[in-house]
Homo-oligomer: A and B are copies of this chain.
Amino acid sequence: MTRPAALAVPRVKQRRLSPDERRRDFIAKAAEFFAEEGFDGGTRELARKLGVTQPLLYRYFPSKEELIREVYRTVYLDRWQADWDKLLTDRSLPIRERMQRFYDAYTDAIFTREWMRIYLFSGLKGVEINKWYVGIVEDRILKRIVTEYRAEAGLPEQDPLPAELELGWILQGGIFYYGVRKHIYGSTVLEDKERVISNAIDVFLEGISRVFGTGVRVRTTAARRPPADEA
């Protein structure tokens, strides 16, 4: 890529791309494509979308399967923000606030048609990365939420009970399903995402303190401003 004397003016109509850019572009567009068509979508149609011919794909990826694996990697890994880990365990903030901030950010990252469809398609295929991701959600999100809730409520320190974790999954699944309805089913949903999340978190925290704990509550939005109606 080094050029001797001449100016560093980038070519306007650059027909040939550097392998790196090409590869990245292929993966990004392939993600869009497979999200819509499913992984049975054809390589010819994908190539048309990319503006190149089909065999060129095989210069960058040894097989369609390998390309798909790259798509998984970028979709699953690139959107996970490292600082989410710190956020949920930052005890300088009430757990209610941490949960709201986390789910606002998390859903900003995953509530796209592309992410959700690839997640569902890959889950139906039963691929390993999907199972891995589900484990990550449980360990890095739900276990932490339950643990931090227990701490703030003054409950004894211990590993989350399976039944508490399942309640966490109800919340997680409920929020996820809101995204599915909006971005995949095309349902009419309450558009105010943060309000929906806020109410779900309130219900979770108010509810868990009575189902487990002995009624020891934690500060929620509901406790601060009772009527959580919407416009």
Contact = CB atoms under 8 A, between A and B. Distances in A.
B196 A166 contact: yes
A54 interface: no
Copies of this polypeptide in the complex: 2
Interface residues on A, range: 35 or more
B126 A117 contact: no
Given A163-B228, A177-B169, A207 B212 contact: no
A110 to B, nearest CB: 14
Contact of A207 (B162, B185, B206): B206
Nearest to A121: B124
- Majority DSSP secondary structure for residues of A touching B: helix
Contacts of A174: 169-174, 177
Interface of A: 38, 40, 117, 120-121, 123-124, 126, 130-131, 134, 161-163, 165-167, 169-178, 180-181, 184-187, 189-190, 195-196, 199-200, 202-208, 210-212, 214-215, 220-223, 226-230
Q: Which 6 A-B pairs have the closest CB atoms?
A: A173-B177, A203-B207, A170-B174, A174-B174, A207-B207, A173-B174
